[in-house]
A and B are shown apart, each in its own frame.
Chain A
């Protein structure tokens, strides 16, 4: 013991002076090193929950085990990504993590393994359990001061039903989330819960806090006049075989003025398609061109839906405006958890604007990941920036 043992320091700092949460990231390739770096940065007696996003490059079994050992007894959730958003901006091949303090947050989480069997009764039970658990140590009335975070396997093709069902059960509790990615390889995406990475699964996290927060979504795409009607679709496989009664890839290539062979993710990012419902447009992102001339999508498609050609507006202006508005409403941000479509990142890379974006994200305290799809109030959407902003201004009744 040092000389300071002469003075009695309370073991627990007063609530008012404690940081509500901590963030950290590790670029190490070694799972053991990653876990111990994160544990050093985030670990303390009042750590309530750890949320992390990791590159799919890691040996996931080892990473899962190392994290489990580094954070003994701390509930954790996470998923693989198509790129990370660290406290310093965009990252790749790393792990970023958020540690919530139990003096500011009450957290409960649940794993859904049977996505196909996730019906309303199960959803209701899951939400009730989550709320009950939160209520035990809630910071503020659970109904008004909680939000749900969903992480889904991004290649499971089950997002729409799971989300619609979950949203019905959540009622007025706002929800958002992202679909796990795998660095654009489109092979295996995973969510993490209970010490293990899993495919075809979803993690639902309920977070209660007295801090002000807002669940939001934004995109920077504006509708053009051209329309494409889906005339043949494989709804289970999220494939569009024909657009305007012509082979889908051919018709899309004609729309954007390129050869079918030239179509790739960066083209899909620059020339998105969206469905219009009411006054709003919801982007339906193309995943890839298949050998049979069909197009695979990141979200549900249906015969007879009308796709509108979209054009990007300046992406950073839009993002800056949204983050600025959130700052005005909620006060200095403590954290923004961002689910950022990987196509947006491709666009930023094509524009040479990644560094500028990183600066904006870091300044706005955004931590998150690049997704294969975002979730907002039960809607599965693409090519958006969706998340929750947690502010510092005390809530006024």
Chain B
């Protein structure tokens, strides 16, 4: 049938035929218009209606794609939530396990330190030394594993505060000078007292890693610990005269379980710099590595300067072991773990302190006989149902204004540390490091001796 041209010479014979012919003609015209439209394919060059139609089709496509995208996004969110939940439960498990392990380890360390204070025959002293070092290694490994999992799960939040870099480095220099000496290395330390702003514990971990690595990989020569000022921050640097790191290996050393030149006897897992990398990322402290193969390396972390003046907590001049202050000082220890109490009794007793231990406030009241203390050491987590360490401390400070308080906890959460600091307490993490405890006690007692009438902090 010819859709476009009307047939020629058709004479309508009746009224109905005439109507049909007319309708037929209109239908042909409609047909023609539709054909024209279909054949133009909607691409009438620049015609207004085509522009409209194009927009409609485009909007439809966008809508479809947005829907697909949102579906995919939804699936991704679900998958991410599941992965995060799995990660979190892993972290919780690790935290629980490590907490349970840290308690007995803590007690063992305290006992060993106490044993070390006794006059022992030389062979026994060596054995005690070995036990002490082995326990320390276990503790370090455990701490490292927990830290890695916590950093990965993002549950570790930094506790940023201003402090003097010397507060951190003086202690580390002292500690590592001895370790370095044991390896026949010299540690040179250039003291510095610049005010910086960081998380003290996390930054300490970074510098410790630098120092341990430097000592581990350096056969002979020197380790250098010092700082250099830059406009954007203070570089804390650890240099060594070790084998150096080849250009192509400089990224790899920051990955887990990677060690290079591992021909030496080595107890590490190779996790150290992986942690350093994560911590520096979290704190926003850039890392720098300069190295010359065969001559040595310098690792540095750049820490911002403090924006505000820090209220001087401890005069750095006085951070020196002042063991004479410890002798005769009354120290109260509140911990619900009997082994810890016994360990602390042995350790503090060995330093000449008068120690009163108790599992709770009631017990302390019964044992202290109304006497006052020079320092209170209190565990944050006391027995189920009892008030926590902070509440106990407030209670005792109400009775004895100005009583110095050290809160001890296995909880690495920044909020707790911040809370303790806000109340003017010092905070130590489990497992307790005897040297650090001793230095802190000395500092607190020194400050107390110089300001006997200090009002409540």
Interface of A with B (CB < 8 Å)?
157-158, 160-161, 163-164, 167-168, 172, 229-232, 235, 238, 242, 244-246, 277-278, 280, 282, 299-306, 376-380
Contact = CB atoms under 8 A, between A and B. Distances in A.
A231 B51 contact: no
B140 to A, nearest CB: 38
A245 B29 contact: yes
27 contacts: A160-B48, A160-B51, A160-B52, A160-B55, A229-B30, A230-B33, A231-B29, A231-B30, A231-B33, A245-B30, A277-B53, A277-B56, A277-B60, A278-B57, A280-B60, A282-B52, A299-B52, A300-B49, A301-B49, A302-B49, A303-B36, A304-B33, A304-B34, A304-B38, A377-B62, A378-B58, A380-B52
Given A161-B48, A163-B55, A379-B56, A303 B26 contact: no
A244 B30 contact: yes
A330 B56 CA distance: 26
Given A164-B52, A302-B37, 13 more contacts: A161-B48, A161-B51, A167-B55, A230-B33, A231-B32, A238-B48, A245-B27, A280-B56, A304-B34, A304-B35, A304-B37, A380-B52, A380-B55
B51 A300 contact: yes
Nearest to A227: B30
A235 B47 CA distance: 8
Nearest to A174: B62
Contact of A160 (B49, B57, B59, B62): B49
Contacts of B52: 160, 164, 282, 299-300, 379-380
Interface residues of B, number: 30
Q: Which 7 A-B pairs have the closest CB atoms?
A: A304-B37, A300-B48, A302-B49, A245-B29, A245-B26, A378-B55, A300-B49
B261 interface: no
Interface in B12-56: 25-27, 29-30, 32-38, 40, 44, 46-56
Contacts of A302: 37, 44, 47-50
A242 B58 CA distance: 29
A304 B29 contact: no
Nearest to A230: B33
Contacts, number: 93
Nearest to B49: A302
A246 B23 CA distance: 10
Given A160-B49, A300-B49, A302-B47, A244 B26 contact: yes
Contacts of B50: 302
A231 B37 CA distance: 10
A124 to B, nearest CB: 16
Contact of B48 (A231, A235, A280, A304): A235
Contacts of A301: 49
Contacts of B44: 302
Nearest to A228: B30
A220 to B, nearest CB: 19
Contacts of A229: 30, 33-34
Given A277-B53, A300-B52, A378 B59 contact: yes
B51 to A, nearest CB: 4
A158 B37 CA distance: 21
Contacts of B47: 235, 300, 302
Contacts of A376: 59
A168 B54 CA distance: 11
Contact of A164 (B35, B54, B62): B54
Contacts of B46: 161
A280 B63 CA distance: 13
Nearest to A300: B48
A377 B56 CA distance: 9
A379 B26 contact: no
B40 to A, nearest CB: 8
A229 B44 CA distance: 18
